[in-house]
Chains A and B, each alone.
Chain A
Amino acid sequence: MNTALFVTQLVNGLQLGVLLFLVASGLTLVFGILDFVNLAHGVFYMLGAFISASLAALSGSWPLGVMLALPLVALAGAATERLVARPLYGKSHLAQVLATFGLILLADALAMLIWGVEGRTVALPAWLQGRVAAGVVELPVYRLVIIFSGLAVAAALYVWVHHTRFGMLVRAAAANRAMAEALGVDTARLHAVVFILGAVLAGLAGALITPITEASLSMGSDIIIVAFVVIIIGGTGSLKGAFAAAMLVGLVDALGRAWLDDLFKLAFPAEIAETAAPAISAMSIYILMAAILVLRPGGLFPPRARGR
């Protein structure tokens, strides 16, 4: 096996995993703590991409565009929480799925009205465009930046949840909502904060991916299902689980895409292998999820009893 290719793929898988974690962490908190199934979580990912691209074009600086975009995404998150999510807390999952699916359609149509259909692209500043030599390979600086900023966010989240008073309340609410309420926790405020934080993290992921791909309509609904797969594999409500599952899914996807067709060529004619490999590698994360659910119905880090 080609070592340089393997290392490159490993980095690509990690980078995908980090982005998935940013989207999935908010999703898993909202689901674990608020018991709210938010199909529209990907909307914030799309908003982060579009707003940061527009602001980068206006201000001439991409990092500045990202900084300015996040408060706006937070605002969108706050509005969504207040108008759609909050009335549905504690209601059936079915109503939540219906409402948030409607929200996706609404948001995509609004984005089409605001930004048009053609999408937005941004170029990286020169200092992020280089590559660094790392042993046998040359890696793009920007992909490493994504990985490190994602890891930094994950570390900050960990500290916040495990070593601050507010984080303790969040954990308490996740473990046993009724108990937390009985102890006088201001759950309405806590819920809003968790929801908005999730929106901002997804927005950050969207902003980070834009220089690699571009801001486009429907990018939110493209990622949301994978994000759900991640939180299910990880165990709903668990940040640790979301992190492990995001990395697992990222690596399976990147390595599958690189070697599955070679693997298939051992058993099938080249023609079939070339066609089947993309399909099977697309399927791989669903196979992974189904297998994990059958063997460990609660995911890798199953939620503890929640007292409901």
Chain B
Amino acid sequence: MRKFLATGLVLGMSAVAAFAGEVRIGFVTTLTTPAAVIGRDMVDAAKLAVKNMGGKMAGLDVRLIIEDDGFRPDTGRLKTVKLIKQDKVDFLTGYIWSHVLLASRKPALDAGKFLISANAGPSPLAGKLCNRNFFSASWQNDQIPMAMGEVLNQLGIKSLYLINPNYAAGKNMVSGVSRTFKGKILGKDFTRWGKGAQLDFSAELAKAKASGAQAIFSFYPGKAGAAFIKQFQQAGLDKSMKLFTVYTIDALSLPKFQKAGLKVVLGSQSTHFWSPDMDNPANRKFVSSFRAAYGRYPSFYAAQAYDAINLIRSGVEGARGDLSNTDAIRAAMERADFGSVRGKFTYGNNHFPIQNFYLREVVADADGNWTFKTVKTVLKNHQDPYAKDCPLK
């Protein structure tokens, strides 16, 4: 035992000694379990962002320290603590999952660090638990389903059945779509999520069919999404009902769908804050350099990670590289003036973006690769519904 402790000591000491003149960014994401496909895309984008800025922010070297949360909130929290105490980072970002972010919030903010979500946008952090050092580089969970509810109204859908996973983000999706959808909701199912998540949706699909609803609304990120869509088609529901999803079909799953020849996906519509075909200089550079570097389209997760790093850069530059001047960093980031790939947007009092949401459709590009095309703007300069609960001014 003593020997092992000694080994531990040596390992620890050789790890890091503080260097001045360096911006340290801790990046907590998922690199193991099937969800690692998201984490990999985000890490690729974050590295690309650092590369595209020449590895420097306001003349300081950038060091990206990547940690795996293993899809577990307690592990994510422990890694956050390690990044703060051992690696002495200045910024913490990454965070795919609402529960990992909620678990890591306290140690990060108590230590006075900047915490920037590159994906998760749980409602408490937008409302009561908002914090001056927390920023979102993505959206609040409710916003994208709210846009979807609006789309359903415009399409004249009168009745809806909801099938969603049983966790915080799943609940947010349901509450989001219910806020804007004006028709009748004929039924709701929440399915097992997390470890041992349910992947056979035959029971829920059969109930949806029996309910007689015109359409189904679902949210299944990651591997469950492919299963859900296939089963929707196999159950023959594609003949009688329409399927509307959020975060279910993305750039990570499209190549897989295409390889398997699942044509039902082509033409399917979803709402989002960003699309690879958006026409602005930052996005053109991001998409083309990402495709050149990795040979695939970036996902929205990648876009958010790219934006998160650039948001940090704007903060560091606003303080002219003085990392102790947190007020200047915060003021600069609040301006949201960093050349976001989504185009210009502003920050609300709760540090969540006030931004547009678009309807996107799956199409084949000139080379035959499946990707997204923007159809129209659904919500303009939209703010999340929780901002009013946030005590920040």
Contact = CB atoms under 8 A, between A and B. Distances in A.
Interface of A: 2, 4-5, 8-9, 12, 15-16, 57, 112, 116-124, 129, 131, 138, 140, 142-143, 211-214, 216-218, 222, 225, 254, 257-258, 261, 274-275, 277-279, 282
Contact of A143 (B33, B202, B210): B202
Contact of A112 (B32, B199, B259): B32
10 contacts: A5-B206, A119-B223, A121-B262, A129-B233, A212-B227, A213-B227, A216-B34, A225-B196, A258-B203, A282-B192
B188 A274 contact: yes
Contacts of A258: 203, 206-207
A212 B166 contact: no
Contacts of A279: 166
Contact of B260 (A16, A118, A121, A225): A121
B210 A16 contact: no
Interface residues of B, number: 41
Contacts of B182: none
Contacts of B82: none
B37 A118 contact: yes
Contacts of A216: 34, 223
B236 A140 contact: yes
A117 B199 contact: no
Nearest to B204: A257
Contacts of A16: 200
B199 A12 contact: no
Contacts of B261: 123
A270 B257 CA distance: 36
Contact of A211 (B197, B199, B230): B230
B294 interface: no
A124 B200 CA distance: 16
Contacts of B190: 274-275, 277-278
B34 A9 contact: no
Contacts of B7: none
Interface of B: 32-37, 40, 166, 188-192, 195-200, 202-204, 206-207, 210, 223, 226-227, 230-231, 233-236, 252, 256-257, 259-262
A211 B259 CA distance: 13
B36 A117 contact: yes
Contacts of B33: 117, 217-218
B188 A213 contact: no
A12 B200 contact: yes
Given A9-B206, A218-B34, A258-B206, A121 B230 contact: yes
Given A8-B202, A117-B34, A275-B166, A140 B234 contact: yes
